[in-house]
């Protein structure tokens, strides 16, 4: 159903201009009005469930014809359960505190001025994503709640579904008295639209790509505006010389096997040499029984028989039932390994030693650093953010799970009484 749009640049500029206009209104939209819109979208999804499913069926049919894998088709499907989940998510976001307008650190200064910070929207957020049509709703909801206009570019394989979802959103925005351009879905599957979207700083303030590494790298390299992104999740668990063996086994097993295809799963296990003989054989047995393929360094293979790990294993995000294991001398060698191979996502140490834990927390340069906890906790909902639009492994602006706050900025506000600088 690719809409025929002859001049992509002009079309995207028009969307951008409309988004910028809507953003000025959204900045000052009352909390109640934004929440109304969110609740109305939820109702619209439920009311229009049949239409959503029949439009989605067209995408599924075309996907099958194009030979999409069944996992892809699963993610693409708008079932009753998925629709109910989207509506529930909207109501949860409506229930969160409004971050916009929050004033903090308000202090009087010797000159007589009173200075503080006010939380404000970023402006226009561009989101580029693949397959899952529920991202359309999640992203729209988070942007709306945080007072940002959203420009959404979904994958071509979900074009019918996204268009139907956009209709629900825009009807609800109209009913709530907010500009329809608050949330716009890009209605062309032409790739050039992405190129335009990431290169119009006058209309778009930040880009959030969600999808495979290839997509994210392409977008980061071409973008002329800031990008909130994460590339890899090569997460480590280090079992320290002073680890409690039960906790070590429990956490390491959970970090790898709770789910395989996720960015916060452990990919490499590091074990202090002095504890390897005691812990590794039993733990390895559990992994093997669970169906996890193990690849070890030479020392590891001295304790348990397994395939050898090569240099490239340390640098690989398997996203699968595969684990690399390395025996290290101590926490220093563990941190050296992490500094060299980690993607800066999440690392955890298992130790009972307070000093060692403090050193690990201070020194490891990742978006989440943990002690005696499973890396699987690195998640916006688990951290109590109430929502998540992605996980950032960059250090700039937002780092780690990004919720509503990551979609905001703070400006200074200054109050005086005719105060001048002497």
Applying CB under 8 A, which residues contact a copy of itself?
24, 27-28, 101, 107, 109, 111, 113, 115, 118, 120, 122-123, 205-206, 226, 244, 246-248, 250-251, 253-255, 258, 339, 348, 350, 359, 361-363, 365-374, 376-378, 382-384, 395-397, 399-401, 409-421
Least distance from a copy of itself to the Cβ atom of residue 406, Å = 11
Cα–Cα distance between 80 and 52 in angstroms, integer?
Answer: 10
Q: Which is nearer to a copy of itself, 117 or 167 (CB)?
A: 117
> How far, in Å, are 210, 285, 294, 313, 336 from residue 310 at the CA level?
30, 21, 12, 5, 17
Least distance from a copy of itself to the Cβ atom of residue 109, Å = 5
Q: Which is nearer to a copy of itself, 253 or 303 (CB)?
A: 253
Cα–Cα distance between 422 and 111 in angstroms, integer?
Answer: 9
Q: Which is nearer to a copy of itself, 72 or 383 (CB)?
A: 383
Q: Which is nearer to a copy of itself, 112 or 308 (CB)?
A: 112
3-state SS assignment for residue 106: strand
Q: Which is nearer to a copy of itself, 157 or 347 (CB)?
A: 347
Least distance from a copy of itself to the Cβ atom of residue 256, Å = 11
Q: Which is nearer to a copy of itself, 206 or 263 (CB)?
A: 206
Q: Which is nearer to a copy of itself, 307 or 381 (CB)?
A: 381
Least distance from a copy of itself to the Cβ atom of residue 419, Å = 5
208 strand-pairing partners:
127
H/E stretch holding 339 reads: helix 331-341
Least Cα distance to 340 among 364, 322, 323, 373 occurs for 364
Least distance from a copy of itself to the Cβ atom of residue 107, Å = 7
Q: Which residues contact 385 (CB under 8 A, 6 or more apart)?
A: 401, 403, 404, 405
Least distance from a copy of itself to the Cβ atom of residue 198, Å = 15
Let me know the angle formed at the C-alpha of 126 by 124 and 129, rounded to the nearest 5 degrees.
160
Cα–Cα distance between 291 and 358 in angstroms, integer?
Answer: 35
Pure H helices in 96-158: 134-145
How many CB atoms are closer than 10 A to CB 290? 11
Least Cα distance to 404 among 46, 102, 194, 18 occurs for 102
Least distance from a copy of itself to the Cβ atom of residue 117, Å = 8
Least distance from a copy of itself to the Cβ atom of residue 108, Å = 9
Cα 30 to chain center, whole Å? 27
Q: Which residues contact 242 (CB under 8 A, 6 or more apart)?
A: 351, 352, 353, 356
Cα–Cα distance between 100 and 31 in angstroms, integer?
Answer: 9
Q: Which is nearer to a copy of itself, 58 or 359 (CB)?
A: 359
Least distance from a copy of itself to the Cβ atom of residue 302, Å = 27
Cα 406 to chain center, whole Å? 11
């Amino acid at each position: 159903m690719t809409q025929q749009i002859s001049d992509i640049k002009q079309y995207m500029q028009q969307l951008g201009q409309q988004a910028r206009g809507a953003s000025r209104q959204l900045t000052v939209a009352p909390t109640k009005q934004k929440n109304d819109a969110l609740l109305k979208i939820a109702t619209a999804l439920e009311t229009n469930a049949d239409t959503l499913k029949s439009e989605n069926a067209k995408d599924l049919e075309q996907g099958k014809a194009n030979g999409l894998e069944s996992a892809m088709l699963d993610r693409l499907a708008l079932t009753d359960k998925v629709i109910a989940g989207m509506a529930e998510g909207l109501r949860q976001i409506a229930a969160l505190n409004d971050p916009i307008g929050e004033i903090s650190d308000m202090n009087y200064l010797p000159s007589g001025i009173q200075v503080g910070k006010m939380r404000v929207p970023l402006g226009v957020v561009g989101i580029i994503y693949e397959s899952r049509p529920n991202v359309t709703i999640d992203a729209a909801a988070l942007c709306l709640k945080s007072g940002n206009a959203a420009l959404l570019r979904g994958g071509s394989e979900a074009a019918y579904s996204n268009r139907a979802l956009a209709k629900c959103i825009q009807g609800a925005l109209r009913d709530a008295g907010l500009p329809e351009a608050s949330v716009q879905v890009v209605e062309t599957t032409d790739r050039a639209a992405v190129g335009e979207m990431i290169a119009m700083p006058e209309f778009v303030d930040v880009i959030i790509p969600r999808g495979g590494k290839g997509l994210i790298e392409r977008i980061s390299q071409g973008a002329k505006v800031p990008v909130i992104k994460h590339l890899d999740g090569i997460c480590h668990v280090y079992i320290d010389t002073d680890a409690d063996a039960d906790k070590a086994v429990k956490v390491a097993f959970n970090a790898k096997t709770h789910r395989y295809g996720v960015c916060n799963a452990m990919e490499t296990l590091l074990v202090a040499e002095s504890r390897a003989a005691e812990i590794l054989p039993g733990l390895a047995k559990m992994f093997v029984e669970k169906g996890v393929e193990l690849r070890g360094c030479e020392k590891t293979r001295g304790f348990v028989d397994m395939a050898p790990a090569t240099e490239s294993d340390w640098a690989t995000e398997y996203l699968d039932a595969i684990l690399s294991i390395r025996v290290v001398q101590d926490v220093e060698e563990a941190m050296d390994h992490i500094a060299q191979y980690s993607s800066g996502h999440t690392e955890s140490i298992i130790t009972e030693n307070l000093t060692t834990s403090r050193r690990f927390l201070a020194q490891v340069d990742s978006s989440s650093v943990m002690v005696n906890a499973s890396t699987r906790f690195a998640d916006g909902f688990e951290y109590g953010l109430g929502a998540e639009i992605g996980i950032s492994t960059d250090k700039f602006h937002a780092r780690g799970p990004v919720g509503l706050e990551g979609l905001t900025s703070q400006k200074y506000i200054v109050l005086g009484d005719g105060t001048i600088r002497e």
